[in-house]
Structure 1
């Protein structure tokens, strides 16, 4: 249904000579990606509002998205699969925050977060099967990933020194654990 909107928009733009028919596939990919990003963002905001944890879920997005963008990892074979997986992930994190379940998870999380950070440090970037990286890109993405990871780890340490039961610390830690798991999942061809 959403992608029918893309087709109608493209038909209109081609008819009005805004874009060339030969560029249709490229624009279609871009518009579909934009629609999915907007959908993912809307779901994140909705879940955040339902569970009264907008600030912490915004923190999750700020921590997870840039790191995931450069570190790579598992990609669903179809875009809607990615959206569903993301929504489930966000739902679990929001419920954990809302019902203070993170207090039960914190004792083992410090060790798991440290292991996750090592996995990210050593393995990033993980290439997508359909989007291989050149050597220069790999080095650049590795450097960016490590820089982001160091900054986030430093913030996590400061938060935990101030308060061992910090929800913000939980959010940063769980984002690193999730990313490490995504990096270890096998890629589909």
Structure 2
């Protein structure tokens, strides 16, 4: 569906001479990425509106997106599976926030950080096979991932200290944990293929 729509958009842009025909494949791929991101965002907004978990949902997504940029992680085999897997992960997160009594937020935060931080520090960046990294890029992203983890951890703990029982801190901590688990899944996938 996303691929077909991307092809139609590209064909329309070529027909109206907005883009050159020789750049067709680049634009098809770019439209696929854009449409996938828009659909993911729409799903997140819809689920946040349905559950009312604004602070927890937004902090989860922000922590996930910011850290994922430098840490890398698992990539689904298609845009459909990417959207489906993120929807499932985000839904599970929202269920945890909704059904977990706030009394248990701090243990969940500490557990997520205890598992997530060492995994990211040891594995980041996890590059995708279609986009290998040079040594300099790898070193820069590793440093950036570690710095991001430190800043996120400071924000999470400061947020918890200032506003205990708020879902924002647990959301960010679980976003960090999700990136760590995504990194482990990507490494497992690489070893399985080797």
Normalising to structure 1: TM-score of the pair? Answer: 0.90
Report matched runs for 1:157-168 at 5 Å: 157-162=157-162, 165-168=165-168
Does the 8 Å contact 1:96/1:102 carry over to 2?
Answer: no
1:26-51 CA distance string (max 9 Å, x none): 00000010000000000000000111
Shift of 1:98: 2.5
**Structure 2: runs of 5 or more not aligned:** none
Distance in 2 between residues matched to 1:122 and 1:141, nearest whole Å: 12
Question: 1:150 — aligned with what?
Answer: 150
Does the 8 Å contact 1:102/1:170 carry over to 2?
Answer: no
Question: 1:71 — aligned with what?
Answer: 71
Question: 2:176 — aligned with what?
Answer: 176
Distance in 1 between residues matched to 2:95 and 2:148, nearest whole Å: 26
1:70-92 CA distance string (max 9 Å, x none): 10111111121111010011111
Matched, 1:137 2:137: yes
Correspondent of 1:187 among 182, 186, 189? 189
When residues 133 and 101 of structure 1 are mapped into structure 2, their CA distance, relative to the original with a 3 A threshold, is farther
Distance in 1 between residues matched to 2:120 and 2:102, nearest whole Å: 22
**Structure 1: runs of 5 or more not aligned:** none
When residues 15 and 111 of structure 1 are mapped into structure 2, their CA distance, relative to the original with a 3 A threshold, is closer
Distance in 2 between residues matched to 1:106 and 1:160, nearest whole Å: 8
Does the 8 Å contact 2:108/2:170 carry over to 1?
Answer: no
Normalising to structure 2: TM-score of the pair? Answer: 0.88
Q: Which runs of 4+ in 1 moved over 6 A?
A: none
Distance in 2 between residues matched to 1:108 and 1:98, nearest whole Å: 14
1:70-124 CA distance string (max 9 Å, x none): 1011111112111101001111111222234464464354144223111111211
Report matched runs for 1:94-105 at 5 Å: 94-101=94-101, 103-104=103-104
Matched residue pairs, number? 189
Instruction: Give SS of 1:174's match.
Output: helix
User: Which deviates further from its counterpart, 54-63 or 108-117?
Assistant: 108-117
